[in-house]
Structure 1
Amino acid sequence: MVYGLFFGDSITYGEYDGVFGGWVDILKRYALQKFHEGNGDELILFNLGIGGETTEGLLRRMPVELSARNSADGNLVFISYGANDLAIKEGVQVVNREKFKENMIRAVQQAQQYSNDIYLVSILPIAKHIDGVVVSSGKLRSNEEVIAYNDILKGIAADYSLGYIDFHSALLEDKEILLSADGVHPNEKGYGMMAEIAIPIIEKYL
């Protein structure tokens, strides 16, 4: 029995998807269905997404979460952060690029103690109407920063020979119809597309 641990923020949690519960929950159901059909090994997926979390919060809880869900048969670890880190609030970036890179490397090193199968997940594009705009939460995000933070993630994935799931490229062209009204979270269609991209990855472990 292999465990899959999905660390992330509200997009991992599946916020704004009242139909499917987000991409990770779609994967959970898919893995369970395959197992019950007798089409593979049991893969138990844990949605460890917390709304609003940054890499600072991740580092505080990651060792506990990893040790509490450590399968003798192996673990997959997915790390999906950046959308909250890159936000600017009251003129200050929540977690700047240099600190974000440092935090992500520390997170990868923690994960490596429990897993040989680690995937970094790209940050999604944001909708045109909130690009560079301060929204009701007081946060400002820009696609320019999204690209810069994704470049950091790609670099870490290359340096540490990790998987990289590029949701950004997949959703970019049709982002205006794949994102919810807040311009940050996917809608059901967006989450569905993310799950379709991720299914071939988890199928390798079924």
Structure 2
Amino acid sequence: MKKIIYGLFFGDSITYGEYDGVFGGWVDILKRYALQQFHEGNGDELILFNLGIGGETTEGLLKRIPHELSARNSADGNIVFLSYGANDLAVKEGAQIVDPEKFKSNMSAAIAHAKEFSNEIYLVSILPFSEKIDGVVVSSGKKRINEDVVIYNQMLKDLAAEHSLGYIDFYAAFLEDKEILLSADGVHPNEKGYGMMAEVAIPIIEKYL
């Protein structure tokens, strides 16, 4: 009897796949891959839900994660991906939208919610920003700093280690070629960048197929 496993991807516009008019972002590439594998008769059915919301921070995540998890709960098991930080660390009007301590506490609360529904939880790193916007106030009034990315990613790594969770290091995959893999806004990946993210993530979802 084949299992039906749900994969729930929580995150912001990078999870949603913003600015990728070709593939629809990394999660959508994974969705198509999982469906193709199932149709070819390879393993269990893995149904992936893209739950990314543009501009969302961990504050927004906490408001919806209990409802989203209970609404999409497979009896055969769930995999939960939490991909946050790029909006939390942004500086607006002189202060970070969600400061490091609050970010850590919000992520800890989100992990606790996820554990009620899943033993398979992954924290996803924040991507580096392009040099051209590093420390620059952009038209949205937000400023993002690469040094903050390192700080927030370290918190995510520490939480993953503390709770024995998976950690997906897109940051390391992007760092060297970030100017080629990021779109013109310097924050979101372009099609090539989203493709690279999917390449990193496919071996992870293959474990559940």
TM range (shorter): over 0.9
Residue 99 of structure 1 corresponds to: 102
Residue 93 (structure 2) aligned to one of 82, 90, 94: 90
1:200 maps to a residue whose letter is: P
Residue 157 of structure 2 corresponds to: 154
Determine whether 1:63 maps to 2:66: yes
Residue 195 of structure 1 corresponds to: 198
C-alpha distance in 2, partners of 1:37/1:144?
Answer: 45
Q: Which runs of 5+ in 2 are unaligned?
A: none
Residue 147 of structure 2 corresponds to: 144
Shift in Å at residue 39 of structure 1? Answer: 1.1
Residues 76-104 of structure 1, C-alpha deviations (whole Å, 9 max, x = no match): 00000000000000111100000000000
Residue 186 of structure 2 corresponds to: 183
2:183 maps to a residue whose letter is: S
Shift in Å at residue 28 of structure 1? Answer: 0.1
Residues 150-179 of structure 1, C-alpha deviations (whole Å, 9 max, x = no match): 000000000000000000000000000000
Shift in Å at residue 186 of structure 1? Answer: 0.1
CA RMSD of aligned residues (A): 0.3
C-alpha distance in 2, partners of 1:127/1:93?
Answer: 19
1:106 maps to a residue whose letter is: A
C-alpha distance in 2, partners of 1:14/1:92?
Answer: 27
Shift in Å at residue 40 of structure 1? Answer: 1.4
C-alpha distance in 1, partners of 2:32/2:141?
Answer: 36
Residue 129 of structure 1 corresponds to: 132
Residues 111-140 of structure 1, C-alpha deviations (whole Å, 9 max, x = no match): 000000000000000000000000000000
Shift in Å at residue 34 of structure 1? Answer: 0.3
Residue 11 of structure 1 corresponds to: 14
Residue 41 of structure 1 corresponds to: 44
C-alpha distance in 1, partners of 2:175/2:197?
Answer: 12
Residue 77 (structure 1) aligned to one of 73, 80, 83: 80
Residue 171 of structure 1 corresponds to: 174
Identity of aligned residues (%): 80
C-alpha distance in 1, partners of 2:95/2:42?
Answer: 50
C-alpha distance in 1, partners of 2:157/2:45?
Answer: 30
The TM-score normalised by the length of structure 1 is: 1.00
For these two proteins, the number of residue pairs brought into alignment is 206
State the secondary structure of the residue aligned to 2:192.
helix
State the secondary structure of the residue aligned to 1:161.
coil
